Amino acid sequence: MKTENSNQKKTIRNYRITIVRLAILAIFFIFFSFGGYFIGGQTSVVLPVFNCEYVGGGVTRGLCIAILDFNKYISETFIIGVIVCIISIIMLGRLWCGYICPFGFFQDVVTLIRQKLNITQVAIPQQAKPFITIFKWFTVFYILFYDFCKVCPIQYFTVPVTGYTIKTSDTSYFWAVVLLVFIVISDRAFCRVCPLGALMGMANRISGSRLKKKGSACTHCRACIEVCPMDIQEIYEDRENEDITHPECLYCMKCIEVCPENDALRFELFKFKLLKSVRPTEQRGNSCNKN
């Protein structure tokens, strides 16, 4: 009985960061999707997330619509909102993707369902990554120069949640079906090709959000790469550089959760250490007993 309780505590400890992150995502998802019903409509606030313009109870606009139809919404308040939005991206990078984005929450819920159903995740071959990168920057080009709404698949997921329907092109419906398949078989599939994520990823290198690694403490156990939803190889392979922040990193902190070595991985926000990996109690006890 004691062993079962010990294992249960270990499991809770291992996933406490994910539980908190999902709770934060759920709160923002509910607020973004239904908050408009309580505050009396949508605000002029713009955030660097995929929050569809056509969500009935939406509170804010996603940055995508601000890029596409800047002239349509232009006003002093709107411009200030966009500037603040850009500054927040530079400061936080893709932290927005991991903790705020409504569609990120949707993908994580699908992942939880897949895990409960014991559906095996399909690993994306390393050879396919260059093609994914090309497609990702193609979507960036499309959102900057064309009407991305006509092909955006997100509207088929977030809009119906609030009881609304939207009539758009068959192209977007096709991509919605394709995307759903990929989301089911692979964690955060859309985040790999998200145009906003690609733009925010450029800020990851200079933002205040930093993922750091103590190479001397790494034992190459592969725990970090096995849980990384973005399949960032550098987090496992790099033992030379302390700062291993990658443009694809969503700061989900799963790598820190599962890392079995003290302070081998840590997350810093504006140089303040907020999270670090901790060796499990059972493992520390075993080490002491061996000595």
**283 and 140 belong to one structural domain:** no
Dist. CA 65–CA 154, nearest whole Å: 13
Lowest mean pLDDT among 70-74, 115-119, 174-178, 203-207: 70-74
Give me the pLDDT at residue 84, please: 84
The three state secondary structure string of 150-210 is HCCCCHHHHCHHHCCCCCCCHHHHHHHHHHHHHHHHCCCCHHHCCHHHHHHHHHHCCCCEE
**115 and 159 belong to one structural domain:** yes
Percentage of the chain surpassing pLDDT 90? 44
**24 and 148 belong to one structural domain:** yes
- Convert the pLDDT of each residue in 114-131 to its tens digit: 989 988 888 888 888 889
pLDDT band at 134, cuts 50/70/90? Answer: very high
**146 and 54 belong to one structural domain:** yes
Give me the pLDDT at residue 188, please: 93
Give me the pLDDT at residue 168, please: 66
Write the CATH number for 256: 3.30.70
pLDDT band at 284, cuts 50/70/90? Answer: very low
- Convert the pLDDT of each residue in 68-111 to its tens digit: 766 666 666 677 777 888 899 999 999 999 999 999 999 999 99
Pick the more confident residue, 117 or 285: 117
Q: Among 137, 170, 202, where does a domain finish?
A: 202
Beta strands 265-269 and 272-276: pairing type? Answer: antiparallel
- Convert the pLDDT of each residue in 223-280 to its tens digit: 999 999 999 999 999 999 999 999 999 999 999 999 999 999 999 999 999 999 998 7
Q: Tokens at residue 115, please?
A: 């895990």
**120 and 238 belong to one structural domain:** no
Q: Is residue 181 part of a domain?
A: yes
Q: Tokens at residue 287, please?
A: 């080490």
Those residues whose C-beta lies under 8 Å from the C-beta of residue 50, and which sit 6 or more positions away, are 62, 64, 101, 102, 103, 154, 158, 194, 196
Q: Is residue 159 part of a domain?
A: yes
Question: What integer best gives the mean pLDDT of the chain?
Answer: 83
> Measured on CA atoms in the order 123, 126, 131, 134, is the torsion positive or negative?
positive
In this structure, are residues 267 and 277 in contact, taking their beta carbons and an 8 Å threshold? no
Lowest mean pLDDT among 53-57, 69-73, 151-155, 193-197: 69-73
pTM for this model (two decimals):
0.83
Dist. CA 48–CA 249, nearest whole Å: 16
**176 and 34 belong to one structural domain:** yes
Identify the three-state secondary structure at position 68. helix
Give me the pLDDT at residue 70, please: 62
**65 and 146 belong to one structural domain:** yes
Q: Is residue 2 part of a domain?
A: no
Give whole-number Cα distances, 249 to 57, 64, 143, 270, in Å: 30, 20, 22, 17
Q: Hey, how many other C-beta atoms are within 10 angstroms of the C-beta on 70?
A: 12
Q: Is residue 267 part of a domain?
A: yes
**162 and 255 belong to one structural domain:** no
Q: Is residue 6 part of a domain?
A: no
**198 and 214 belong to one structural domain:** no
Crossing angle of helices 195-204 and 129-145, rounded to 10°: 110
What is the extent of the structural domain holding 268?
Answer: 208-290
**157 and 247 belong to one structural domain:** no
pLDDT band at 26, cuts 50/70/90? Answer: very high
pLDDT at 3 over 50: no
Degrees to nearest 5, angle at CA 252 with 153 and 119: 60
Considering its fold, how many domains does the chain have in total?
A: 2
Pick the more confident residue, 17 or 13: 17
Give me the pLDDT at residue 76, please: 65
**160 and 54 belong to one structural domain:** yes
Average pLDDT estimate for 177-190:
91
Q: Is residue 7 part of a domain?
A: no
In this structure, are residues 43 and 283 in contact, taking their beta carbons and an 8 Å threshold? no
